[in-house]
Amino acid sequence: MAYLSRNFSPEGRELDRLLRRSSDTNATVQDQVAQILNRVATEGDAALFALEEQFTKAKLASLSVSEEEFLEAEALVSASLKKALREAASNIRFFHEAQLPQGERLTVATGIELSRKIVPIQRVGLYVPGGTAPLISTTLMLGIPAQVAGCKDVVLCTPSDASGKVHPAILYAASMCSITKVFKLGGAQAIGAMAYGSESVPKVDKIFGPGNQYVTEAKKQVSASCCSIDMPAGPSEVMVVATLDADPGFVASDLLSQAEHGLDSQSMLVIVGDKEGGFAFLDRVEEQLSLQLKALDRQTFLLSSLAHSHAIVCPTLEQGAKVVNAYAPEHLIINTTDPSELEALVVNAGSIFLGPYSCESAGDYASGTNHTLPTAGWAHSTSGVSTDSFLKKITVQKLSKQGLSDLSETLVSLSEAERLTAHRNAVLIRLGGEI
Amino acid sequence: MAYLSRNFSPEGRELDRLLRRSSDTNATVQDQVAQILNRVATEGDAALFALEEQFTKAKLASLSVSEEEFLEAEALVSASLKKALREAASNIRFFHEAQLPQGERLTVATGIELSRKIVPIQRVGLYVPGGTAPLISTTLMLGIPAQVAGCKDVVLCTPSDASGKVHPAILYAASMCSITKVFKLGGAQAIGAMAYGSESVPKVDKIFGPGNQYVTEAKKQVSASCCSIDMPAGPSEVMVVATLDADPGFVASDLLSQAEHGLDSQSMLVIVGDKEGGFAFLDRVEEQLSLQLKALDRQTFLLSSLAHSHAIVCPTLEQGAKVVNAYAPEHLIINTTDPSELEALVVNAGSIFLGPYSCESAGDYASGTNHTLPTAGWAHSTSGVSTDSFLKKITVQKLSKQGLSDLSETLVSLSEAERLTAHRNAVLIRLGGEI
């Protein structure tokens, strides 16, 4: 049995078809989300309590996590998990601190000084999915850059279970990032609460974090009106590029670790080699998939994801690079003889993993890079979350009278060409001219 | 007659009301734009020719500007305007080159190397409005950072007049930025053409530039599905903060230069001073408004914009700063006794102009800062266009076997806590462990 579709050197429409993501904008989801957002905007906390009860069965006494619950959570997290979170946090912090920009300060000409002032976004909201796969690591991936950037108010929403409890490791990770405002909210209602504010939940300026289709749709809807978001999100995906000398077991393990994320994840394999050798290598990957699959939980997710995943054999590295850049994968694993050779050709990807020992899990958890990355082809135009995502750059200029005077001929000429008389006058009046 | 509403130290809901932007999402515009985009997506060039004829009356032989038309345009632009464009371009280039990031390269631990690879967005589309106020300067403000960033394919759309001609200075400015692909397209159809591509117009990854409500709505719609945009745009706005020692004539000229942009521009004035002194200063500004208005074209725009503009007297600088940060103005002019004192308190603004001689016109045209800035309160969470806007940062990691091994305990612990077995296995198989 073959898990992946088998393709040799596809071109044109055939290649387009293989690289297309399933993007079914579900009108029902859109309507449901719009209704939830509207309820949250108009009814505030009352809607939030009711919606949480409806979706999680939890009858909450308070939306916010109490100090006692934070202490309880700390006691529940094992020493080994705490140690792991500390090491991960340390690496993430190191990399994200290095990303802090300085801001420029320039004198363009005498009396014309320009600079960029770096300011943290004041109020940010982080969404951390709970449920069957509690994304503990996401708490660090969003909380640390928010802290490094210096955001003033950081709010975190994550759903509770039916008993009204939040996953203890998520709370522990939140407190590692000095986040104290945690709310028991999931789904579209969590996004609405942060976008509009309620009696309990403070309004924020920008919302970050992954989620299911309701969360994603809610982020899309609020971003059209009143609140920024980190990026449009879609199902997670990996593209592995391998040459024939790669270890098929490593390759299979990377495809599987992506496929276990959800029903609609995608694991793409690009094999650089001739047709015969490429398909022979693919056979060995398939064997490994079959073998490794047996040991895994989440069989439904794995089989569903693999069912819409493809293997593409490309005769040259250049053709492989073309496929990579056309697909613009969220995660790109380059498991080739000389990884840097292909890396130099890559212009569209969220995050790149070089060589046989750089598995995606490393970046997902603890090497230090951020795991919040552009999916669904958005890597053509956007970057993953970084410290930059939590900062603004405000341009500042200061002109002296002389500086303005030296520039005035240019300003007058351009404002006249654009027929904006008042723009011209704002210059002339300052220089004592007739207006 | 008073042009601005007069308010002293407003708080709470009263302040909210004054700072609210008029944001009427017009359902008719939404539908019209959706229909235009759909036509462009399905019919391509045929739709583009038909729509341009419908909106501009131009019967175009070709959508693209020919080499002859570029030469013709060059001959039509006056020597003085060319000189002005050259000086503006030189300053803009200087500031935007200084913004080029380096990318970090770090060794987190032995065998764990992280970096960020800076890559230009490959295909970008620039929209430059034509018509009654041809935004020649916008061509430089978008074309120069695209060139500095190194974008591979740069497409520019701007509407022609009824005779099928594009404003010569826009073409001349485009060629100053080495842009050769200019298309005679305006409105929602221009945005659709760049987002989807057509027989004539190449598809792009990100669209930049200002425009009327149809352009803005079209950018919003395509950004929800297939193409990034620079920022959500709204009517242009300025907030001037003045102390009682400011020149009322300068202040009035700045309010007017904003108000002439369109029917729905907003010119806000914050006066720092006691009630009596503040209102007396306001009287002098009103006098100047009345005086200066007479000399201006575009009376309809000016009067309409001023009609929904407000003056707010704040007794302290801190209160003034609170108003500024709540409004998050696109342009902030600080015309106070000590501008840097207030500047230090500002966290939400698009661009700041310090002192009596830094009029907005300077930044609009030629000091070197970018004039594409966040409006409608988006300065709470977003920055103006800069070289960054044309770049992506791709994280790259390379782990050695030793590096992965040293990190493995942490990776295994975290993947088990998140119940992602395949993530764990991708680590273990590389270290020869049992999976």
Q: What average pLDDT does range A288-297 have in this prediction?
A: 92
Query: What φ, ψ does residue B223 adopt, rounded to 5°?
Result: -70, -20
Q: Which of A302-306, A334-338, A392-396, B78-82 has the lowest mean pLDDT?
A: A302-306
Amino acid making up residue A352: I
Query: How does pLDDT run along chain B (435 residues), one tens digit per residue?
Result: 699 999 999 999 999 999 998 766 688 999 999 999 999 999 999 999 999 999 999 999 999 999 999 999 999 999 999 999 999 999 999 999 999 998 889 999 999 999 999 999 999 999 999 876 789 999 999 999 999 999 999 999 999 999 999 999 999 999 999 999 999 999 999 999 999 999 999 999 999 999 888 999 999 999 988 899 999 878 899 999 999 999 999 999 999 999 998 888 999 999 999 999 999 999 999 999 999 999 888 888 889 889 989 999 999 999 999 999 999 999 999 999 999 999 999 999 999 999 999 999 999 999 999 999 999 999 999 999 999 999 999 999 999 999 999 999 999 999 999 999 999 999 999 998 655
Write b or e for each residue in B391-418: b if 16 or more Cβ atoms lie within 10 A of its Cβ, otherwise e. bbbbbbbbbbeebbbbbbebbbbbbebb
- Angstrom distance (rounded) from CA A205 to CA A223: 10
**pLDDT tens string A143-153:** 999 999 999 99
The C-alpha atoms of residue B208 and residue B229 are separated, in whole angstroms, by 6
Decide the pairing of beta strands B112-120 and B391-399: antiparallel
Instruction: Write out pLDDT tens, residues B63-110.
Output: 999 999 999 999 999 999 999 999 999 999 999 999 999 888 999 999
CB spacing of A352 vs B132 below 8 angstroms: no
Alpha-carbon distance B37 to B424, whole Å? Answer: 46
pLDDT digits (tens, 9 = 90+) for A95-152: 999 999 988 899 999 999 999 999 999 999 999 998 767 899 999 999 999 999 999 9
Tell me which residue in A253, A355, A410 faces B429 most closely, judged by beta carbons.
Answer: A253
Per-residue pLDDT tens over the stretch A39-91: 999 999 999 999 999 999 999 999 999 999 999 999 999 999 999 999 999 99
A43 vs A299, which has greater pLDDT? A43
Residue whose C-alpha is closest to residue B92's, from B331, B372, B374, B352: B372
Angle value at C-alpha B337, between B334 and B339, nearest 5 degrees:
40
Instruction: Looking at the complex, report in whole angstroms how far the Cα of residue B8 sits from the nearest Cα belonging to chain A.
Output: 27
Confidence of residue A263 (pLDDT cuts 50, 70, 90): confident
Taking the alpha carbons of A268, A269, A275, A279 in that order, is the dihedral positive or negative?
negative
Q: Is B331 one of the catalytic residues?
A: yes
Determine, for residues A395 and B295 on separate chains, whether the beta-carbon distance falls below 8 Å. no
Catalytic residue among A96, A261, A331, A371: A331
Of B260, B370, B411, the CB nearest to A395: B370
- Distance separating alpha carbons of residues A249 and A241, to the nearest angstrom: 14
Interchain pair A410, B361: CB under 8 A:
no
Q: What is the rounded CA–CA span in Å between residue A241 and residue A278? A: 12
Whether B398 and B113 have beta carbons less than 8 Å apart is answered as yes
What distance in Å separates residue A74's CA from the closest CA in chain B? 15
Kindly report the backbone phi and psi dihedral angles of residue A108, in degrees, each rounded to the nearest multiple of 5, phi listed first. Answer: -75, -40
A13-22, A154-163, B187-196: range with lowest mean pLDDT: A13-22
CA atoms of B191 and B208, how far apart (whole Å): 10
Domains of chain B: 5-17+235-383 (3.40.50.1980), 44-229 (3.40.50.1980), 400-431 (no CATH)
- Per-residue confidence (pLDDT) for residue A262, from 0 to 100: 84
Rounded to whole angstroms, the Cα distance separating A37 from A35 reads 5
Q: What is the pLDDT of residues A176-214, one digit of tens each?
A: 999 999 999 999 999 999 999 999 999 999 999 998 889
The residues, any chain, with a CB within 8 Å of residue A58's CB and separated by 6 or more, are: A52, A160, A161, A162, A163, A164, A184
If we measure between CA atoms, which residue out of B78, B168, B249, B364 comes closest to residue A415? B364
Substitution target in A423, A424, A435 with the highest count of B β-carbons within 10 Å is A423
Asked whether the beta carbons of residue B117 and residue A85 sit closer than 8 angstroms, the reply is no
Q: Is B97 among the catalytic positions? A: no
Nearest CB neighbour to B394, from listed A298, A349, A419: A349
Please give the average per-residue pLDDT across A7-18, as a whole number.
95
Nearest CA in chain B to A87: B410
Determine which of B93, B152, B380 to mutate to test the interface with A (most A C-beta atoms within 10 Å): B380
Q: What is the pLDDT of residue B334?
A: 98
Supply the ipTM of this predicted assembly.
0.96
Looking up tokens 């709970």 gives A130
B399/A368 CB distance under 8 A = no
**Which pLDDT does position B22 carry in this prediction?**
73
Active-site residue, from B261, B310, B331, B371:
B331
pLDDT digits (tens, 9 = 90+) for A369-408: 999 999 999 999 999 999 999 999 999 999 999 999 999 9
Candidate from B297, B418, B425 with C-beta closest to A419? B297
Most B CBs within 10 A among A418, A419, A424, A435, hence the mutation to make, goes to A418
Q: What is the pLDDT of residue B277?
A: 98
In single-letter form, the type of residue at position A297 comes to: D
Distance (Å, whole) CA B114 – CA A100: 15
- Between chains, do B425 and A109 touch, taking CB under 8 Å as contact? no
pLDDT at A103: 86
pLDDT at A434 over 70: no
